[in-house]
Amino acid sequence: MNEITNLPAIFGIDVFNEAAMKQRLSPEIYCAWKNCVETGSPLQLPVANCIAEAMKDWATEKGATHYTHWFQPMTGITAEKHDSFIAPIGDGKVIMEFSGKELVRGEPDASSFPSGGLRATFEARGYTAWDPTSFAFVKDGSLYIPTCFFSYTGEALDKKTPLLRSIDEVSREALRILRLFGDTQTKRVCASVGSEQEYFLLPKSLYAQREDLRITGRTLFGAPAPKGQELEDHYFGTIRTRVSRYMKDLDEQLWRLGILSKTKHNEVAPCQHEMAPIYTDANSACDDNQLVMEIMKKCAAKHDLVCLLHEKPFAGVNGSGKHNNWSLGTDSGKNLFSPGKTPRQNAQFLVFLAAFVQGVDEYQDFLRCTVASAGNDHRLGANEAPPAILSVFLGDELNAVVESIINGTNYTDPEKSLLRIGVDVLPSIPKDTTDRNRTSPLAFTGNKFEFRMLGSSQSISGPNVALNTIMAEELGKFADELEKADDFDKALQKLVSKAFRDHQRIIFNGNGYSSDWEAEAQRRGLHNLRSTAEAMPAYVSSKNVELVTKHGIFTEAEFRARYEIHLEAYSKIINIEARTCVDIIRKQILPAVLSYCADLCENVTRKTALNITCKAEQALLAELSATTDSLYEKCEKLAADLNAVPAGSEAAANYYHDVILAEMAAARMDADHLEAITAKTYWPYPTYSDLLFY
């Protein structure tokens, strides 16, 4: 592999970014684009034509022959349809052509993407529209144009559109607060996101031998390996050469695409790794994370590896999540969740903090639903990831501040340098509050919140839409209150202390993995929505519908469509898993065990004829046969119950959770026991120790 000699020179080299635009566009066209991005005004066709021409020239110089409108349908992954640039000019000759119209608008056949009932089948058309706020790039010989995807009647069919709407909305409401604090300069407030991505890498040859991994992305069977992760020798350990070569290749590909891949290390579980980027604006972070997931998979194939993004590929071994670091900042780069240097800035910080705490408490169920999936159900609450209960961790110091605000007492810490606050009833903020409590689902980490409930394979759009919208809602309510106040300081103090007092129950600084917390959370009246089936009805509660429609993030129809799609996806995934489970039992496990039994019987017959004892064979046969009978029965029951799924998406989801998953787990117990007592030569697929300690 080529050594990367000059990283700054390759960084962003395949992106049509600001630098490329400045270089390639005339100053008027560049300014027109910039203006459209800053004000959200539509791009005029002549401008689009010039940009398209420049983009095409740039892309073809990089070897691109095609262009594609790249979009993020509600499947959670990305979609693309490639058209070549060629246009015939007679005499069998072609030129490379790309117009402004082709840049800004596309019309993919949308009938195969989930629409949750938004698009009637007679109107299968969907449209894509360029998002000029995220940059086009060249990858695998195509020019990729990031786009929004919507229906003929204008409903959003994707994950980008609502995210863009929520980004605007939180900016609008946050600006109202900033104005109240005398900030007249800031034009935009930007939601920033850095998402840490966990993943597993396995040798392709072993993966290929496991039908469950190939079809469902996780192992449906597998007795525990003699060694698991108990020695904790993998976390931050030396990286295998093969993996290290992969990571280097991955980094280079990401850097070329302008993705700020920063940190890489081994994770807790064997074969598990993590990549963390430097944060960027929420929209780019979401695009980038989609690319990261895709390139992680493609790059693995080049190295004879397979990248698993499933939330729980192996039972009994830590699963994979995604830490979504989220914050708000001004267009001049000031972080709004940083305690400030002056009393005024501290008061402002407390307003943002109070809005956040209030929002998470009021919309716990909404946030919970944005991370609900069949895969993530295996993680949340399983003592390796946060519980399914939302809570906010502030750390001891900030918590002491909040408590003193609630109690109206003065907070003083003789050890810390205290920042006096002008509003003298509001206490000072300790300068440094960082969190090392890894068990919290949503932790304040100095100047940002780390949302740790996300599944590794999911799009980060949904959780960030929720965070932005909730924040917009609470900041808006605060602004309503403060704008009409006669005495600003007094109103401010009242508002902040009321918010903390009313919503203190969501603040939890203890061990989120402990069972005491579950009981405590229940006493506090917090939601504990354990599974997707249990959680999803809360998604479309009238409170949540009101939130998203009020802020124009979703229409009610768009919102309900997402609910339908999530529930349907949940049921479909479990259905596929269950059918794979039956298939593997019938075609692989039972035949393997039966042939082992046949050979044992043969032994018994022969040994008995010679008058040799065969107690071991007989005992083993008895156990194998009893377990085989039991497994057979469970498998047949599972197969039959798969034909009895009730109608209605909620009823079906509940059935898959309560009946099918439970039956799969029961069958697995038998299968894994058989694996443990069957001779290795008979076993049809690689075991956990083969897979994890290759």
Residues that bind Mg ion (CB under 5 A): 323
The region of 92-100, 208-216, 270-278, 582-590 touching ligand ADP under the rule CB under 6 A is 270-278
Question: Quick one: 326 or 508, whose CB is closer to ligand ADP?
Answer: 326
448-477 positions binding ligand ADP, by CB under 6 A: 448
Output the residue with the shortest Cβ distance to Mg ion: 323
Q: Phi and psi (nearest 5°) for 331?
A: -65, -15
> Minimum CB separation from Mg ion for residue 196, in Å?
5
- Pick one of ligand ADP, Mg ion, none as the site partner of residue 135 (Cβ within 5 to 8 A by kind): none
Q: Residue 86: in which H helix or E strand, if any?
A: strand 86-88
433: contact with ligand ADP by CB under 6 A? no
- Pick one of Mg ion, ligand ADP, none as the site partner of residue 300 (Cβ within 5 to 8 A by kind): none
Question: Quick one: 199 or 539, whose CB is closer to Mg ion?
Answer: 199
The region of 50-58, 188-196, 200-208, 526-534 touching ligand ADP under the rule CB under 6 A is 188-196
The region of 128-136, 186-194, 300-308, 569-577 touching ligand ADP under the rule CB under 6 A is 186-194
CA–CA separation, 412 and 316 (whole Å): 46
- Pick one of Mg ion, ligand ADP, none as the site partner of residue 447 (Cβ within 5 to 8 A by kind): ligand ADP
589-648 positions binding ligand ADP, by CB under 6 A: none
CB neighbours of residue 10 within 10 Å: 13
Of the candidate residues 193, 402, 592, 631, the single one contacting ligand ADP (CB under 6 A): 193
> Minimum CB separation from ligand ADP for residue 331, in Å?
14
The region of 7-15, 190-198, 395-403, 503-511 touching ligand ADP under the rule CB under 6 A is 190-198
Residue 203 Rama label (left phi>0; alpha psi -120 to 50; beta): beta
> Minimum CB separation from ligand ADP for residue 341, in Å?
17
The region of 216-224, 440-448, 550-558, 672-680 touching ligand ADP under the rule CB under 6 A is 440-448
Question: Quick one: 207 or 326, whose CB is closer to Mg ion?
Answer: 326
> Minimum CB separation from ligand ADP for residue 192, in Å?
4
271-300 positions binding ligand ADP, by CB under 6 A: 276-279
Of 262, 527, 578, residue with least CA distance to 371: 527
392: contact with ligand ADP by CB under 6 A? no
CA–CA separation, 57 and 60 (whole Å): 5
Output the residue with the shortest Cβ distance to ligand ADP: 194
> Minimum CB separation from ligand ADP for residue 438, in Å?
10
Question: Could you give the 3-state DSSP secondary structure of residue 450?
Answer: strand
336: contact with ligand ADP by CB under 6 A? no
Question: Quick one: 279 or 596, whose CB is closer to ligand ADP?
Answer: 279
Question: Do 296 and 188 touch, CB atoms closer than 8 A?
Answer: no
- Pick one of ligand ADP, Mg ion, none as the site partner of residue 322 (Cβ within 5 to 8 A by kind): none
Q: Locate 528 and state its tokens.
A: 């504990």
Measured on CA atoms in the order 657, 663, 668, 673, is the torsion positive or negative?
Answer: positive
- Pick one of Mg ion, ligand ADP, none as the site partner of residue 192 (Cβ within 5 to 8 A by kind): ligand ADP
Residues 6+ apart with CB under 8 A from 157: 73, 74, 110, 113, 115, 118, 119, 126, 149, 150, 151
Residues 6+ apart with CB under 8 A from 227: 689, 693
Residue 531 buriedness (CB in 10 A; 0-12 / 13-18 / 19+): buried
Question: Could you give the 3-state DSSP secondary structure of residue 315?
Answer: coil
> Minimum CB separation from ligand ADP for residue 396, in Å?
17
Question: Could you give the 3-state DSSP secondary structure of residue 118?
Answer: coil
Q: Locate 514 and state its tokens.
A: 């402990």
Question: Quick one: 129 or 467, whose CB is closer to ligand ADP?
Answer: 467
- Pick one of Mg ion, ligand ADP, none as the site partner of residue 278 (Cβ within 5 to 8 A by kind): ligand ADP
CB neighbours of residue 608 within 10 Å: 13
Question: Do 49 and 100 touch, CB atoms closer than 8 A?
Answer: yes
Of 571, 266, 535, 228, residue with least CA distance to 381: 535
Question: Quick one: 119 or 323, whose CB is closer to Mg ion?
Answer: 323
Question: Quick one: 115 or 284, whose CB is closer to ligand ADP?
Answer: 284
335: contact with ligand ADP by CB under 6 A? yes
Q: Locate 388 and state its tokens.
A: 């399914």
Q: Residue 326: in which H helix or E strand, if any?
A: strand 321-330
Of 103, 41, 92, residue with least CA distance to 68: 103
- For the chain, what is the radius of gyration of the CA atoms? 28
> Minimum CB separation from ligand ADP for residue 460, in Å?
12
The region of 163-171, 324-332, 509-517, 678-686 touching ligand ADP under the rule CB under 6 A is 324-332
> Minimum CB separation from ligand ADP for residue 449, in Å?
9
Distance from the Cα of residue 510 to its chain's centroid:
25
- Pick one of ligand ADP, Mg ion, none as the site partner of residue 193 (Cβ within 5 to 8 A by kind): ligand ADP
> Minimum CB separation from Mg ion for residue 379, in Å?
15
CA–CA separation, 611 and 620 (whole Å): 19
Question: Do 67 and 142 touch, CB atoms closer than 8 A?
Answer: yes
Of the candidate residues 128, 272, 320, 325, the single one contacting ligand ADP (CB under 6 A): 325
Residues 6+ apart with CB under 8 A from 472: 166, 169, 170, 172, 173, 174, 551
Place of tokens 């999803």: 536
- Pick one of Mg ion, ligand ADP, none as the site partner of residue 194 (Cβ within 5 to 8 A by kind): ligand ADP
> Three-state SS string across 330-356, please?
ECCCCECCCCCCCHHHHHHHHHHHHHH
Of 229, 499, 543, residue with least CA distance to 369: 543
- Pick one of Mg ion, ligand ADP, none as the site partner of residue 85 (Cβ within 5 to 8 A by kind): none
Q: Locate 500 and state its tokens.
A: 């903390």
> Minimum CB separation from Mg ion for residue 262, in Å?
12
Size of the site for ligand ADP (CB under 6 A): 15
445: contact with ligand ADP by CB under 6 A? yes
Note the residues at the interface with ligand ADP (CB under 6 A). Answer: 192-194, 196, 276-279, 325-327, 335, 445, 447-448
